């Protein structure tokens, strides 16, 4: 064989070319590049949906395809509910909401009873604080107000004044009394307790006004 023969291109016959192609395609790099079964399924679903919404699907099959899509979506929703459960709504019970940072779920009547017991033993500070909380709890139970966490006593009094305009001054005074005995450690007395009781009783007999038509007046946090 001459040098000229070596320079000539090697041209295989048909069987040799087939054998070379099989060897080349058996390379792992080609096998790794092939689509997985998941890829094929996703492509088939995409093509199905595309044909459905593009109008290229046969007219006779289009309604059945639409039904099939709805059923598949419903099945996915049901499966998600089974796996993750139903989404939970955040619901605050109006009668159980914490008031003024105090973890006490007693109802208004229970708080009034506790307030009277404190007054009987002349613990005026406790009696005043409990009566104001009873007053506030009563308005929540009546759905007059729906205070958010962080609402202060004065913020609550301002919200209540919007529903009971004639009691705005008395509500502000009641909030001052609560602050005095609860936070400022000032002594209470029978007069302050009596004013709190009378206000609570008047509000219980009075229908609220909602000039804005909105019962959820929002929260007013400490200034």
Q: Look over the chain and give the mean of its residue pLDDT values, rounded to a whole number.
A: 75
134, 115 Cβ separation under 8 angstroms: yes
The pLDDT value given to residue 132: 96
pTM over 0.75: no
Average pLDDT rounded to a whole number, residues 77-105: 61
For the chain, how far is it from start to end, CA to CA, in angstroms? 102
**Tens digit of each residue's pLDDT (9 = 90 or more) over 64-82:** 666 666 677 777 777 766 7
pLDDT score of 217:
42
Q: Render pLDDT for 147-185 as a digit per residue (tens, 0 to 9).
A: 888 889 999 999 999 999 999 999 999 999 999 998 888
Q: Report whether pLDDT(105) > 70.
A: yes
Instruction: Check residues 186 and 54 and name the one with the higher pLDDT.
Output: 186
Q: Are 170 and 199 in contact (CB under 8 A)?
A: yes
* pLDDT confidence of residue 92: 47
pLDDT at 102: 78
Any residues with CB less than 8 A from the CB of 223 and at least 6 apart, and which?
A: none
The answer for residues whose C-beta is within 8 angstroms of residue 123's C-beta and 6 or more apart is none
Q: pLDDT for 192-217, tens place per residue?
A: 999 999 999 999 999 998 754 444 44
Q: Find the radius of gyration of the CA atoms of the chain.
A: 39
Q: Please tell me the predicted confidence (pLDDT) of residue 190.
A: 96
Q: Say what the pLDDT of residue 215 is.
A: 43
Instruction: Return the pLDDT at 168.
Output: 95
pLDDT at residue number 26: 62
């Amino acid at each position: 064989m001459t040098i000229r023969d070596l320079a000539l291109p090697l041209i295989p016959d048909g069987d040799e070319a087939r054998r070379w192609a099989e060897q080349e395609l058996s390379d792992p790099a080609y096998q790794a590049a092939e689509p997985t079964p998941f890829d094929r399924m996703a492509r088939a679903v995409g093509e199905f949906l595309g044909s459905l919404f593009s109008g290229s699907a046969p007219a006779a099959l289009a309604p059945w395809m639409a039904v099939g899509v709805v059923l598949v979506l419903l099945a996915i929703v049901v499966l998600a509910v089974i796996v993750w459960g139903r989404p939970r709504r955040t619901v605050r019970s109006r009668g159980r909401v914490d008031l003024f940072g105090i973890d006490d779920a007693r109802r208004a009547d229970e708080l009034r009873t506790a307030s009277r017991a404190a007054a009987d033993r002349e613990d005026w500070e406790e009696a005043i604080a409990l009566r104001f909380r009873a007053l506030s709890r009563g308005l929540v139970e009546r759905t007059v107000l729906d205070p958010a966490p962080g609402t202060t006593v004065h913020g609550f009094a301002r919200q209540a004044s919007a529903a009971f305009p004639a009691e705005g001054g008395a509500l502000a005074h009641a909030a001052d009394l609560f602050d005095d005995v609860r936070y400022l450690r000032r002594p209470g007395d029978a007069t302050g307790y009596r004013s709190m009781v009378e206000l609570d009783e008047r509000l219980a007999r009075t229908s609220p006004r909602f000039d804005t038509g909105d019962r959820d007046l929002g929260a007013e946090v400490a200034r």
